[in-house]
Structure formats: C-alpha cells, structure tokens
Amino acid sequence: MIKDVLAKQMYNLMLLRSAVDAGSISRAAIELGVSQPTITRGIARLEAALGNKLIHRNAHGVVPTEVCRALLKHVGVAASQLAEAGAMLRRTQRSRYRSLACGGSPAAMESYVPSVMHKLLQRFRNLSLHLREAQSPELLEMIEAGELDIAIGAGLPVEPGHGVEVEPLVHDLMGVFVNANHPLLKEGAQSMEKLLSTQRWVFPEPLWAYPKSMLSNTVLSSIPCVVKAQSSSALRWYARETDLLTISTSLMLHTELNSGLVAGLTTDWVFPRSKHVIYYRSTPDIERPVEIAVNLFKSASLDSLTGMVKTV
C-alpha cells in the first residue's frame, strides 16, 4: 500500500528532498527552477497521502521530522534518479527558452535589476533579453498590454482581469544623504528649514514627485547653491564626492551606502516610503522563464539590499 502511494508521489518526494537538502523552500525553488507554491503544494499532498507531518517551517527555513528523515533515507536512490531525470529535462527546456521582456523603474535599474539579468543570462545562454526602463505607471501599462513579461517598480493598484500577478519586494526609503565624511553627521538631528537655507544641494532634474511636493513652499533661489543633476550617475557623484546634500532613495544610492561612501542624515522631515513590487504575467509558455526571474529578484532583494531597504 505504502509502496503504491510512494510510486504515485515520486515527483513530490523529489520536491521534499530538494527543500530539505537546500534548507528552505525558497532556495529549493531557485535550484529546481519552479515556484515556491509548487513545492509547498507538493509537500502538502505528500503529507496528506502518507498521513504524517514531514517538515516544520521556521524563520530559518525547513526542519525535517523524524518520519521525513526515515522516508528520505529509504527512497534516496529513487529520488536521486528522479532528480537526475528532472535535471536532464530542465537542460532540454533551457535550450528551448527564447526570450524575456523585463522592465524596471530608474531606481530598480540602478540597483539590482542588472545583477539579476546577469544571473539569468548565465543560466540561459541563448536567452534573448529585452530590457526597458520607464516610470512605474508606464511599466504597469506595458505589463497589462502584454508588452512585458516582468517588471520591477513602485506598488500601484492593478486592474482585475488583466492576468497580472503582483508580489511585494522591498520598501524603498527616501531621505537626505551626504558624503560619509560630511561634518553635519557629527552634529546629530538637523532641521530641514535650516538645511535648506544654509547648505548646498543637488536635486534630480526633473524633481521627483515626492521631493517636488515637499519642496513646494521652498524658493530654490534662496538656497546658497543648487545643482540640478541631469542623470542619476551625476547625482550619485555629487553625493559621494562633494559636500552637497541630496534628497534621494536608498535604492538609487545602494552601492554608495553599501560601500560606506554615503550616509543618511537625520532630519525633522518625515519622508514617504515607496513599496517596490514585482509585476509579472502568469504564463504556461515554457520559452519564457518568468518564474525563475521572479525567484531571482526575490533572492536579490534579500541578499543585496539587506540594511539598505526594508523587506515588505
């Protein structure tokens, strides 16, 4: 009886073994190239078929039960053979992958989109990758129109019926940033009114929606020196190499913050937070590795942005 059950559950056994070996369902999903819900459902079906709890989930990942350890020991050979067959199938599938259209907001394109795309191209050598940088509303329109497979941008309401999936990534924090050696860092909390009237500033051009509304009562000509940066690279250079202050987001300056070249200045302003999400189209099309890209983005947001932004 148990033998027949296990014979029907070999795929779910492979999912279970991968999750236990990897130590977490998210890492197993990336290694297998499937979604996390696929592994979770597979293990649940296996537990239901056997009538036993097989894993416990905690903040650190998954922990196998005694029943699970005994089960995996006895079916290890069969699971290994199935895993090898699965790897062969994935290699065959990878050779068939053709294209992926990915979009990102300027902040996302300045931070972890390039590294994720690099990992994707390493995994799928023959992938035709199409990248598009745009503001979040335009990205969402392109996703809904089917022009993009996946996009990273600010969280916006999604109209139902468009087949668009939305999953949260991180909270992008806005603030005042200065060179890590700036003397203001030694003085503690600062008044924005004083900073605007006494310090030299660099602002992105055109001003972003949040800073523009927050600065609506400030006459820019009253600031001792204002540089309007035409590009994000110029803004980052001024923030890193000069004593000018800038209003920016942690994603835009994540490299400089990670390396300790730029630091956040404490002020009496309450800055808004922007939620970054993944938009993607659910599709059974095997030639577009959307689920794998989604998992890579999740991993990158946790690994690369820890300490810079807050996970949603």
Work out the pLDDT band at 310, boundaries 50, 70, 90: very low
Q: What gap in Å lies between CA 282 and CA 37, rounded to an integer? A: 13
Question: Considering only 82-91, 173-182, 187-196, 303-312, which range has the smallest mean pLDDT?
Answer: 303-312
Ordered structural domains, the chain, with CATH: 2-94 (1.10.10.10), 97-312 (3.40.190.290)
Residue 149 DSSP symbol: S
Smallest Cα–Cα separation from 295: which of 22, 101, 35? 35
**Pick the residue with more confidence: 107 or 48?**
48
> Phi, psi at residue 267, to the nearest 5°?
-130, 175
Tens of pLDDT, residues 3-22: 566 656 777 888 888 888 88
Residue with token string 């053979």: 81
Sign of the torsion formed by the C-alpha atoms of 223, 226, 232 and 234? negative
Q: At what angle do helices 25-32 and 10-22 cross, to 10 degrees?
A: 120
Answer yes or no: is pLDDT of 94 > 60: no
Residue 211 DSSP symbol: H
Mean pLDDT of the chain: 79
Smallest Cα–Cα separation from 168: which of 308, 23, 291, 310? 310
Smallest Cα–Cα separation from 248: which of 276, 29, 258, 238? 238
Cβ-based neighbour number of residue 109 at 10 Å: 21
Answer yes or no: is pLDDT of 146 > 90: no
Tens of pLDDT, residues 172-216: 778 899 999 999 999 989 999 899 999 999 988 776 666 777 787
Question: In terms of DSSP bridges, do strands 164-179 and 262-265 run parallel, antiparallel, or are they unpaired?
Answer: antiparallel
**Pick the residue with more confidence: 300 or 80?**
300
* pLDDT reported for residue 5: 60
User: pLDDT exceeding 90 applies to what percent of the chain?
Assistant: 15
**Pick the residue with more confidence: 253 or 163?**
253
**Pick the residue with more confidence: 6 or 310?**
6
Work out the pLDDT band at 309, boundaries 50, 70, 90: very low
* pLDDT reported for residue 288: 61
Q: What gap in Å lies between CA 97 and CA 99, rounded to an integer? A: 6
Residue 266 DSSP symbol: P
Q: What gap in Å lies between CA 311 and CA 266, rounded to an integer? A: 21
Answer yes or no: is pLDDT of 40 > 60: yes
**Pick the residue with more confidence: 158 or 283?**
158
* pLDDT reported for residue 91: 47
User: pLDDT exceeding 70 applies to what percent of the chain?
Assistant: 81
Q: What gap in Å lies between CA 106 and CA 151, rounded to an integer? A: 12
**Pick the residue with more confidence: 274 or 264?**
264
Answer yes or no: is pLDDT of 171 > 80: no
Answer yes or no: is pLDDT of 75 > 80: no
Tens of pLDDT, residues 222-242: 888 999 888 888 888 999 999
* pLDDT reported for residue 222: 85
